Structure 1
Amino acid sequence: MKNFVIKTLINAVAIWVAAWIVSGITLSGDDWQSKTITVIAVALIFGVVNFLIKPVVKLFSLPLFILTLGLITFVINALMLWLTSWASDKLDLDFHVEGFWAALLGSLIISLVSWGLNLAFGDDD
């Protein structure tokens, strides 16, 4: 359970940083507290999308992994962020990704920030 909470908080910080840097990713809210609740909810949705849908997409795109030497991973990560944006819109959360290029840049930033925070605060295993 502790591992799940840490990973969710790391994803929340990474999503917040991506929304701060990328102009096509918006995270709106009335005040700091509502933005915090929104970004944690979005991080939970992002975690569920990455846990349930991403492995299926990776399985079906296995030939593209071989053909592109793994570079298709960037596109799949962008699509997972875009799907998170769609799900957030359906749940009336104030998170939106405007277009594929914003999703691609945002997914790169989220990956880098998550990687760095996982190095600092991740598992001791």
Structure 2
Amino acid sequence: MKHFLLTWLATAVALLITSRVVYGFEVKSFVAALIAAVVIGLVNGFIRPILRFFAFPITLLTFGLFSFVINALTLWLASGLTPGSGFEIKGFIPALLGSIVLAIVSSVLNYFLRVVE
């Protein structure tokens, strides 16, 4: 349970940092980031595996680079599922750039969380 809460908080912080770096990727408050982290987790748990299954051939052809597009689509979908919550992505390009920045920031934060534990 402790690991789940730390990961949830780290994802929320990563979303806030990403919103400061990427134009068009907006998170209004920490509460909005917490809500967005839950929705992103649910989308990644239920919809992303389906997208990855159907996109497997093109992912192979692009040597895995198409996974960035899948990540961007799932982020964009999560943004669309939370209207009025303070989490908004204004277009595909901000979603793509945001997914790259979010992956980097989340990796760094999760690394430090593992070191602390």
TM-score range, shorter chain: over 0.9
Q: 2:32 aligns with which of 34, 38, 44?
A: 38
- For 2:54, the equivalent position in structure 1 comes to 60
Q: What is the CA deviation profile of residues 44-90 of structure 1, one whole-angstrom value per residue up to 9, with x for unaligned ones?
A: 1111111111111111111011111100011001001101110111x
Cα deviation, residue 123, structure 1 = 8.2
- For 2:39 and 2:90, locate their aligned partners in 1 and report how far apart those are by CA, in whole Å: 18
- For 1:19, the equivalent position in structure 2 comes to 19
- For 2:108, the equivalent position in structure 1 comes to 116
Could you state the TM-score of these two structures normalised by the residue count of structure 1?
Answer: 0.87
Does structure 2 conserve the Cα–Cα contact (< 8 Å) formed by 1:6 and 1:122?
no
- Listed as ranges, the gaps of 5+ residues in structure 2 are none
- For 2:97 and 2:88, locate their aligned partners in 1 and report how far apart those are by CA, in whole Å: 14
Does structure 2 conserve the Cα–Cα contact (< 8 Å) formed by 1:10 and 1:117?
yes
Percent identity over paired residues? 37
- For 1:86, the equivalent position in structure 2 comes to 80
- For 2:95, the equivalent position in structure 1 comes to 103
Q: Secondary structure at the match of 1:116?
A: helix
Could you state the TM-score of these two structures normalised by the residue count of structure 2?
Answer: 0.93
